[in-house]
Amino acid sequence: MPEKYENAKGYKDCWYALTANRLLVTLGGLNEQVNCDVCVIGGGFTGLSAALELAEKGLSVTLLEKETIAGSASGRNGGQVLRGYSKQPGALIGSYGLDTARQMSNISLEGLALILGRIKAHAIPCDLKFGHLTAAMNGGHVKELKKDIDDLHRLGQNDVTWLDRDAARALVHTEAYVGGLFDQKGAHFHPLNYALGIAQAAQASGAMIYEHTAAVDIVPGSPCKVITAEGGTVIAKHVIIAGALDIKGLGPVRRTSLTATAHIVSTLPLGMDAARQVMSRDIAVADARYIMDYYRFTNDYRLLFGGNCNYSNREYPGEGTRLKKRIKKIFPQLENIEIEHCWHGPLDLTANAMPHVGRLAPQIYFAHGFGGHGVIATNMMGKILADAVAGQTERFDVFDKIRHNPLPGGDLLRRPLFMLGMLWYRLRDILG
Ligand SMILES: Cc1cc2nc3c(=O)[nH]c(=O)nc-3n(C[C@H](O)[C@H](O)[C@H](O)COP(=O)(O)OP(=O)(O)OC[C@H]3O[C@@H](n4cnc5c(N)ncnc54)[C@H](O)[C@@H]3O)c2cc1C
């Protein structure tokens, strides 16, 4: 019989792990044969959302997670719950036309409602708070963000507003900002606790969740066979590949994205008074640069601050120190700040800044490439994949139609070329 996992081992040195409501009890190391309607591979937001939706539809679900539930990007991110996609609203309209862009934007807002509805329905304690500012740091950003607001209005989203320099600085107390786009529906939360709550809700509806179980091969057919590294087999009518997974045969799909590494630090608790010297409300903030700073306060008033993405797929020492310097540059009032935790996670980036969604075979669905704007998009895509399995493909088709080319350069030059492209964005950020 598979071993049972009851604790949080495997989450490493991430503040979220240390504050996880880990009540989840899962199965582990699948080494026998199980049968089900749908095998979901990947226990991040995409997979968990799909598993919950499928189980609520009355389908039998087996979810396989290589390590721990939400132990990768989904449980290690900035926790900023933002409408839209990595692609700017204007680019969305330019690439896909107003009607499709509007459909995609509505789907994103539906994703926000889905998350809020699930938090409420399953009473998930995840420190949810509202309000988000995208801050302009120069005149170019002001122009871009004002255009974003116009484009969002064209998409029917009239609930975002422009804050001038004084209004932005009254909200976030730094001289670095000269205005910003305020989204009252934007939110932030503890992503790992949210994910664990979704996993428990999926189990309560009957989903079987296996941790420490890696899928290594998928044999298409009716039914499909998913083989695990531990010698188990899942016989399933449908398979959902949820996230940027390394499984035999996925090569052509995976060549449309590359993984970058994003870093986050959390400080020692600052207390409410010091937090109020940084911002007058507990909102989430990101600046308008391509390689941006993004931050918010946790429930116990730690500043949780992300930035410094690297594109080489290598770890460099000293990220914590670099982020600490950055915090002090934006907020000189935090001169004596102490960093307690520093961690990183994978950002799965596509060339067109949209998720790559489709079918490998009639019964095998996949979704990956959510980039740094994935909290809402992954949760919604999990539902969309579950709906497609159940025969409702209208919204799946919207994303399936997006064209994704493999990133150029072949296996050898793909990453160096990608790094060169990112250097251009970094320069653009520096030159303003
Ligand atoms: C540091 C950081 C900060 C971010 N901040 C934000 C933010 O503030 N707001 C926002 O919207 N987005 C943010 N993002 C992006 C967001 O976190 C991701 O887009 C999203 O979590 C991706 O979810 P996923 O389900 O696709 O993948 P993941 O969360 O990566 O889940 C995939 C899972 O599959 C498992 N797996 C891999 N291979 C196998 C296999 N062979 N068999 C079984 N399981 C396997 C992995 O272990 C992993 O748990 C951030 C990302 C990072 C890294």
For 125, 147, 148, 294, the CA distances from 180, given in Å and listed in that order, are 30, 12, 11, 14
pLDDT in tens, 341-378: 999 899 999 989 999 999 999 999 999 999 999 999 99
Proportion of the chain above pLDDT 70, given as a percent: 91
Instruction: Compute the C-alpha angle 176/295/329, nearest 5°.
Output: 35
Distance 346 CA to ligand 1 centre (A): 7
Structure confidence at residue 2 (pLDDT): 33
Structure confidence at residue 405 (pLDDT): 83
Structure confidence at residue 115 as a pLDDT band (50, 70, 90): very high
pLDDT in tens, 55-108: 999 999 999 999 999 999 999 999 999 999 999 999 999 999 999 999 999 999
Say yes or no to pLDDT of 266 above 90.
yes
3-state secondary structure of 225: strand
Say yes or no to pLDDT of 7 above 60.
no
Closest residue CA from atom 14 of ligand 1: 372
- Atom in ligand 1 nearest the alpha carbon of residue 214: 42
Instruction: Read off the amino acid at residue 432.
Output: G
- Atom in ligand 1 nearest the alpha carbon of residue 45: 25
Distance 277 CA to ligand 1 centre (A): 32
Distance 230 CA to ligand 1 centre (A): 23
List, chain by chain if needed, residues with CB within 6 Å of any ligand 1 atom.
Answer: 41-47, 64-67, 71-74, 76-80, 82, 214-215, 242-243, 245-247, 262, 264, 294, 306, 345-347, 368, 370, 372-375, 378
Instruction: State how far the Cα of 301 lies from the Cα of 266, in Å rounded to an integer.
Output: 10
Report yes or no: 348 and 16 within 8 Å, Cβ to Cβ.
no
pLDDT in tens, 36-54: 999 999 999 999 999 999 9
pLDDT in tens, 157-173: 999 999 999 999 999 99
pLDDT in tens, 185-228: 999 999 999 999 999 999 999 999 999 999 999 999 999 999 99
Write down the pTM of the prediction.
0.94
Structure confidence at residue 396 (pLDDT): 98
Structure confidence at residue 254 as a pLDDT band (50, 70, 90): confident
Structure confidence at residue 12 as a pLDDT band (50, 70, 90): low
Nearest residue to 78 via CA among 328, 271, 356, 285 = 285
Structure confidence at residue 104 (pLDDT): 98
Structure confidence at residue 308 (pLDDT): 78
Instruction: State how far the Cα of 80 lies from the Cα of 271, in Å rounded to an integer.
Output: 21
pLDDT in tens, 225-249: 999 999 999 999 999 999 999 888 7
pLDDT in tens, 306-327: 987 776 666 667 888 999 999 9
**Where do runs of H (alpha helix) occur along 158-226?**
165-171, 191-204
Structure confidence at residue 313 (pLDDT): 66
Structure confidence at residue 432 as a pLDDT band (50, 70, 90): low
